[in-house]
Amino acid sequence: MWKGLIEEYKEFLPVTENTPALTLNEGNTPLIHLVNLSKELGIELYGKIEGANPTGSFKDRGMVFAVAKAIEDGAKCVICASTGNTSAAASAYAARAGIQSIVVIPKGKVALGKLAQACMYGAKIIEIDGNFDDALAIVRQVSETTPVKLVNSVNPYRIEGQKTAAFEIVDSLGQAPEYLCIPVGNAGNISAYWKGFKEYNEAKNTGLPKMYGFEAEGAAAIVKGEPITNPETVATAIRIGNPASWKLAEAARDESEGIIDSVTDDEILAAYQLIARSEGIFVEPGSAASLAGVIKSVNNGKITKGSHVVTVFTGNGLKDPDTAMSVSKVDLVSLKNDEEEIRQYIEGIL
């Protein structure tokens, strides 16, 4: 039986005898060969389905370890800023561990499912008239002067936990893919994957991918080379104008001979619908930025035809029902509770 990340990967993590055995059985997520899109794009494309984690996003990988280490340090309360997924994961693992969580979020800019999670897991939720970058600046300050442990990805244990996704990809494929495509928001995850690929390569000689990161165009600080004061994108998960791990993400890009590029909201929403319709995989808009980036890179020649590409789907589509319904042109057909009427309708569309 899968025992969760801390137990499964303890030889690669700074685990001590005092680290609690915290887990919600996170990790071990599917790597799915995207057969239809592979054919369409002329590459071998795989999707890492991080929405299959316990709270529906990759954040569980980092959070299980950050919360475990916080408890090891004696913390009774964790705090984070979030566009939604970090807050869901922090509050879930805090609940599991029996400690308090406090989350600070941008008012009106967190997808409904994520907010529902923080409510259900029992977080104290503070919403501010400001964006993620403002919230992060505040919680960084507060955590320095109060006995609350910061669990944003500036906490190095978050990166340690998140690097395990790279291990799983290599174990599934037998070696690293040629390209690893990933959305970029606060830039922690691209940094974590690169660390994971490098450590596994050192231990097992499994090769290294080129790291391809994709920001949303309205929040593309790294691409533009300067912070964005008012980031805007339909992909609220990555609506971030001043990524905390900016330097680490640039290092991942440069060391791997990769790129960090941007994709437009139109490209994100097209990829969001394409992955659901063509492969039966429902991801949230922020996650679709990576597939939008794959498509852009195949079209402009930055991904070579025939190559092996892994795209990371960071969060589950169920988290953001509002965006799903607003892009869906499906009209619900309301019929009588009557077999004949329903049969006639079905015969009409066949």
Question: Binding-site residues for pyridoxal 5'-phosphate, please?
Answer: 85, 185-189, 314
Comparison of 86 and 349: residue with beta carbon closer to ligand F0G: 86
- Residue 192 · residue 186 · CB < 8 Å: no
When asked if residue 92 is in the footprint of ligand F0G (CB under 6 A), the reply is no
| Calpha distance 250→246 (Å, rounded) | 6
Nearest distance from residue 137's CB to ligand F0G, in Å? 14
| Calpha distance 245→236 (Å, rounded) | 18
Tokens for 296, please give them.
Answer: 């852009």
Strands 77-81, 100-106: pairing is: parallel
Other Cβ atoms closer than 10 A to 52 = 18
DSSP state for residue 205 in the 8-state scheme:
-
When asked if residue 117 is in the footprint of ligand F0G (CB under 6 A), the reply is no
Among 70-78, 186-194, 200-208, 320-328, the segment contacting ligand F0G (CB under 6 A): 186-194
Closest CA to 117 of 67, 69, 83: 83
| Calpha distance 35→234 (Å, rounded) | 28
User: In the structure, how many helices (H) and strands (E) does the chain have?
Assistant: 15, 10
The site that binds ligand F0G (CB under 6 A) totals a number of residues, namely: 22
| Calpha distance 173→137 (Å, rounded) | 39
When asked if residue 5 is in the footprint of ligand F0G (CB under 6 A), the reply is no
Nearest distance from residue 335's CB to ligand F0G, in Å? 37
Locate tokens 């990809």: which residue? 169
When asked if residue 71 is in the footprint of ligand F0G (CB under 6 A), the reply is no
Among 233, 256, 314, 323, binds ligand F0G (CB under 6 A): 314
Angle between helices 112-121 and 85-97 (to 10 degrees): 20
When asked if residue 83 is in the footprint of ligand F0G (CB under 6 A), the reply is yes
Which residues, 125 to 144, sit near ligand F0G by CB under 6 A? none
When asked if residue 183 is in the footprint of ligand F0G (CB under 6 A), the reply is yes
Which residues, 152 to 171, sit near ligand F0G by CB under 6 A? 153
Among 90, 115, 219, 237, binds ligand F0G (CB under 6 A): 237
Nearest distance from residue 245's CB to ligand F0G, in Å? 7
Among 23, 85, 91, 206, binds ligand F0G (CB under 6 A): 85
Interface residues with ligand F0G (CB under 6 A) are 57, 59, 82-86, 153, 183-189, 237-238, 284, 286-287, 314-315
